[in-house]
Amino acid sequence: MELKLEPLEGGVTEAKGFRATGISCGLKDGGYKDLGIVYSQKPCETACSFTNNQVKAAPVMFDLARIENKISAVLVNSGNANCLTGKTGDENVLEMARLTEQFLSLPEDSVMVASTGVIGRKLPMDRVTYGIEKICKMVKSESDIKNFSHAIMTTDKKPKNVAYEFKIDGKTVRVGGSAKGAGMIKPDMSTPHATMLVFITTDALISKSALQSALKDAVDTTFNRISVDNDTSTNDSVFLLSNGMAGNTEITEDSETFSIFKEVLAKVCLGLAKLVVKDGEGATKLIHIAVKNAKSENDAEKIARAIADSYLVKTAVFGQSPNWGRILAAVGYSGARFDIAKVRLLMNDLVIFENGDVNKANESRAGGEMISPEINLTIDLNLGKADFEVWTSDLTCDYVKINANYLS
């Protein structure tokens, strides 16, 4: 079956029956929006992916206990991570869900909660309570993707929305998502890192197990392959909600349509993942690292991640310096199998190193390539058939300034 995919402008509100909005309730200074909600007119099958950090924020523990439930809304606050907040934190997240259920007349246990912001501060529940009442009233009748996008931001500079429309058996189906995340990014969720929060909705009718399987695959090849600073957050969460309102024949793991759904979902996730890296704290470059022809995928992954995590490679890219020596030094300490005599290193399309030696002519040309906002590094090991790719950002003075001052 051929896939005709239409990109849409919006994000989490593009699928039928979903609304979202955002307000300020006083968690952030300066009147910035800090409380958001995603709401579905019909209860949703849900698949989630949470941080693998052993220190998990209260809302993550809370959502994990609701993972089998039908979900109608996800409430999200920024400005406070509700993490390492003890028993009070657990009580507060329960109260947030309970109030949302009450004000939206939803069944018990049908709301999930996400938080991002400073760790170790208790939520000011008087402000949160007031905010929940207000936002629930609003989302019953209106939807505003811009306000939602701003409500989930912390150090983000830009809203991050991706959505696509396609057909299944003549029915229009949409998958769309909105994300936040700029620092503390290296998703390692049994599926992402940052605090990265991702909200994806679809009106596809799809079985719960197919939804879970599709999300796991999509997260593994997108959010789990980006890194800004190699710190795994306590709050990373990806929510995928499907309300079935597109009216398509149900997608199951056995149906022909499953691979199409997976492809679209992966495209939404990759789009959002790249937006997160591009908006990485202080970032000026998107760096794509592709390791090719390794002995094993594990070897390819080790090398890709060693380069992506190297302070020296990331500062060199910031300096627009084609410092291939630092890249090969990272290959060397990655722990992967390789033979330096067989390694080919490319910067964008220029071969910089092969047959154990530098290509002098291309090295001087590479200076020009480094001015580009997107840098492709290809490391061809010529040893086997396994590939791995990751995306990262450069390491800049602004990254240091942002994080020297931000309490997160």
What are the structure tokens assigned to 200, written together? 């994806």
Among 13, 85, 116, 195, the active-site one is 195
Q: Least Å distance between CB 314 and a second copy? A: 9
Binding piece for a second copy, criterion CB under 8 A, among 32-40, 49-57, 135-143, 260-268: 49-57
| Cβ 205 vs Cβ 301: under 8 Å | no
Helices (H), 120-207: 125-139, 145-151
Binding piece for a second copy, criterion CB under 8 A, among 20-28, 78-86, 104-112, 251-259: 78-86
* CB neighbourhood size of 207 (10 A): 17
Q: Least Å distance between CB 86 and a second copy? A: 5
Q: Tell me the C-alpha distance between 324 and 14, whole Å.
A: 43
Contact between 371 and a second copy (CB under 8 A)? no
Of 119 and 128, CB closest to a second copy: 119
The sheet carrying 357-358 orders its strands as 226-227, 386-393, 286-294, 374-380, 344-347, 350-354, 357-358
Matching residue, tokens 């997107």: 374
Contact between 119 and a second copy (CB under 8 A)? yes
Q: Least Å distance between CB 120 and a second copy? A: 4
**195 counts as catalytic:** yes
Pairing mode, strands 226-227 and 386-393: parallel
Taking CB under 8 A as the criterion, the residue among 209, 249, 259, 321 binding a second copy is 321
| Cβ 277 vs Cβ 269: under 8 Å | no
Q: Least Å distance between CB 229 and a second copy? A: 4
Binding piece for a second copy, criterion CB under 8 A, among 61-69, 208-216, 244-252, 316-324: 316-324
Matching residue, tokens 């869900």: 97
Contact between 351 and a second copy (CB under 8 A)? no
Contact between 329 and a second copy (CB under 8 A)? yes
CA distances to 115, 361, 396 from 237, in Å? 9, 46, 26
Q: Mutual orientation of helices 297-308 and 324-333 as an angle, nearest 10°?
A: 130
Taking CB under 8 A as the criterion, the residue among 261, 338, 388, 391 binding a second copy is 338
Contact between 213 and a second copy (CB under 8 A)? no
Contact between 234 and a second copy (CB under 8 A)? yes
Q: What's the chain's Rg over C-alpha atoms?
A: 22
Distance between start and end Cα atoms, the chain: 47
Please give the backbone phi and psi of residue 356, each rounded to the nearest 5 degrees, phi first.
75, 10
Q: Least Å distance between CB 261 and a second copy? A: 31
Of 133 and 188, CB closest to a second copy: 188
| Cβ 163 vs Cβ 177: under 8 Å | yes
Contact between 28 and a second copy (CB under 8 A)? no
Q: Mutual orientation of helices 257-278 and 208-221 as an angle, nearest 10°?
A: 40
Of 120 and 368, CB closest to a second copy: 120
Q: Least Å distance between CB 152 and a second copy? A: 19
Q: Tell me the C-alpha distance between 345 and 182, whole Å.
A: 29
Taking CB under 8 A as the criterion, the residue among 1, 67, 361, 397 binding a second copy is 397
Taking CB under 8 A as the criterion, the residue among 46, 110, 233, 348 binding a second copy is 233
Q: Least Å distance between CB 301 and a second copy? A: 16
* CB neighbourhood size of 81 (10 A): 29
Site residues for a second copy per CB under 8 A = 52-56, 81, 83-86, 118-120, 183-184, 188, 229-234, 309-312, 315-316, 318-319, 321, 323-326, 328-333, 338, 340, 353, 356-358, 395-397, 399-401, 403-405, 407-408
- Active-site annotation, residues: 195
